Amino acid sequence: MGQRSVSLAQLLGFDGWVVEEAFFESELGVHVVATGRYALLRGTRLVLRVRCRWRPRCSGCGSACDAVHELGTTRRWRDLPWSTHPVLIEYAPRRLKCRLCAAHLVELVAWAEARQTTTRRLQHQLAIECAAAPISQVAARHGLPWSTVRRAEGHAIARWERSLPPTAPLRQVGLDEKYLGRRNRLAEKFVTIVSNLETGEPIWIGAGRSKETVRRWLDALTPEQKKAIDLFAMDMYAAFYVAIDETPGLEHVAITHDPFHVMKRVGEAVDDARRAIFFRSGPEQRAIGRGRRWLLLRAWERNTAEQKADLRWLLAQNGKLARLYQLKEETRALLRDAVDGDAMLHGLERVLRRTRRTTLNAVRRLGESLEHHADAIVAYAEWRPPTGRIEALNNNWEALVRRGRGYRDHEYLRRKLRFVIANPLKTPGGLRTFVDLGQQVPRAA
Ligand SMILES: [Zn+2]
C-alpha cells in the first residue's frame, strides 16, 4: 500500500479494511473533480469505497468464513463527516455459506449493524446532539432526514441500554400524571408515568390518567412482580387509588402520598385563596394580588431578600392569607421533618384543626382532602421512599415536552427520558464511554 492508502485506511479506522477509492460527489450523485479549484468541492460529499482485506466474517456467529454464496449489491452507509464533507462508506457485502449457522448470511461489516444505513459511531454522535437539541435541528445540521436521525438515536440508546447491568426488581413505584402541554393536538392531554422510586427511572408511559390507564400497566405484571412491590407513591388522585385497590395481588402494598404531591395540593389552595381575596374586590386589590403567585408558592427560604420583603408586605395586607401562608410553610416542614408515622399523624391533626377554623372555602376543601388522604400521608413518613429522584424525572420531562416531539410514541419517550435521567453524557468520562460504545466492533451482530 502506498502512503496515501495507508493514511486513508488509518483514518477509516477499522482493522482489515482499506479504502480502495475516495472521491467527491454532488448531492445528485455526480462525480466532482476539483481541477486546482477546491471551491468546486464545497457542498460535496466524500465517498469512501472500501475493501475487506481479511477473510469475511459471518454476521450471525462472527466466525471467519470463506465460502461465498453470492456477491451482494453495493450499499452505502453514512459515517461521521470529514471536515465540511458528509462521508459515505461504500461496500458490497457478500452473502456467505456459514457452516456454523447452517445458513446463508450476509457478511459482517465493521462499522454498522445489519440492515442499518448509518454507522455506529455516527449514531452515537447524533444521540449526543439529540440530548441537547430537537431532532429537527440535528437533522438539518447533518443534512439528514428527520426519520434517519430519530432511528439512529434509537439504535445508539439501545446499545447503551444493552451495556447497563440488569435492573433490580421493582419495589417502590412512583405513579404520576403528566400534562402534555398546550401545543399538542392529541385527544388525550395527559399521560401517566410509572417510575422506579429507587432509581428515578421511568418504567412505563401510557395515554390518559384514568383508572383504566393504570390498570393496563398493573394487569401486565406477573404475580411475582406484584409480590415484589412494597409501595406506591402517587398523586392524591382517586383513579390511581382505585386502580391499585381493585387489582388482585396488590393487597399488601402501602400507598403513600409524597411531599411533592401534597404540596401541589396545598399550593393550589393558596393560589385559589389569593384569587378569592384579591380578584373580587376592585382594581386596587387586584393590583396587589397580581403577579405574586410564585412568591406565595415558593418555599420561604428559596426567596431572595427582596422577595421576602415583598412577601412580608403582601401578607400584611390580609390576615387570612398570612395565616394560610403560615399553614403552608408548616405543612412543608412537617412533611420534611416528621420522623415516623406518629409524628406525622400528630402534625397532620394540628394542620387539620387549623383548616377547620378558616372561612376560606379553598382551605376548607384542602382540609377535607388532607383528612381523606391522611393514611397515605402517614404511610409516607413510615416508609420514606426516596422521592428526590422523581424531581429529576419531572424536570427532564418538562424539558422534553417543551421541545415538543415524541408525544405519540410513548415507548420512545420513556427510553429517551431514561437516557436523559441516567445522563451518561453528563461527565467527560461518561461521554467518552458512550462514544466508545459506538466504536466497538462486535464479534457478531
Ligand atoms: Zn455464522
What is the 116 CA–ligand 1 centroid distance (Å)? Answer: 19
What is the 82 CA–ligand 1 centroid distance (Å)? Answer: 34
Q: Which residues contact 431 (CB under 8 A, 6 or more apart)?
A: 128, 424, 425
pLDDT of 183 reads 61
pLDDT of 207 reads 87
| Residue 301, all three cell numbers | 427560604
pLDDT of 444 reads 57
The three-state secondary structure class of 413 is helix
Sign of the dihedral through C-alpha 310, 315, 318, 324: positive
| Residue 351, all three cell numbers | 394542620
What is the 49 CA–ligand 1 centroid distance (Å)? Answer: 25
pLDDT of 389 reads 73
What is the 62 CA–ligand 1 centroid distance (Å)? Answer: 6
What is the 121 CA–ligand 1 centroid distance (Å)? Answer: 24
The CATH superfamily of 172-258+387-408 is Ribonuclease H-like superfamily/Ribonuclease H (3.30.420.10)
* pLDDT under 70: residue ranges of the chain: 182-185, 402-407, 443-445
What is the 72 CA–ligand 1 centroid distance (Å)? Answer: 17
Residue 194: name the closest of 171, 210, 215, 217 by CA.
217
Residue 112: name the closest of 70, 86, 69, 80 by CA.
80
What is the 16 CA–ligand 1 centroid distance (Å)? Answer: 19
Beta-sheet pairing, 231-234 with 172-179:
parallel
pLDDT of 69 reads 87
Whether the Cβ atoms of residue 232 and residue 256 lie closer than 8 Å to each other: yes
The three-state secondary structure class of 177 is strand
What is the 124 CA–ligand 1 centroid distance (Å)? Answer: 27
Whether the Cβ atoms of residue 81 and residue 417 lie closer than 8 Å to each other: no
Which DSSP symbol is given to 343? H
Residue 25: in which H helix or E strand, if any? strand 17-25
What is the 51 CA–ligand 1 centroid distance (Å)? Answer: 21
Q: Please state, in angstroms and as integers, the Cα–Cα distance from residue 28 to each residue in 32, 43, 45, 393, 442, following that order.
A: 11, 11, 10, 45, 34
What is the 77 CA–ligand 1 centroid distance (Å)? Answer: 23
- DSSP string of 86-122? EEEEEE-PPEEEETTTTEEEEBP-SSS-TT-SB-HHH
Hey, how many other C-beta atoms are within 10 angstroms of the C-beta on 12? 18
What is the 108 CA–ligand 1 centroid distance (Å)? Answer: 10
Would you kindly state where each structural domain of the chain is located, as residue ranges?
Answer: 3-111, 118-162+411-445, 172-258+387-408, 262-382
What is the 61 CA–ligand 1 centroid distance (Å)? Answer: 4
As a whole number of angstroms, the distance between CA 354 and CA 327 comes to: 8
Which residues in 39-91 belong to E strands, given as ranges?
45-52, 68-70, 75-82, 85-91
What is the 67 CA–ligand 1 centroid distance (Å)? Answer: 11
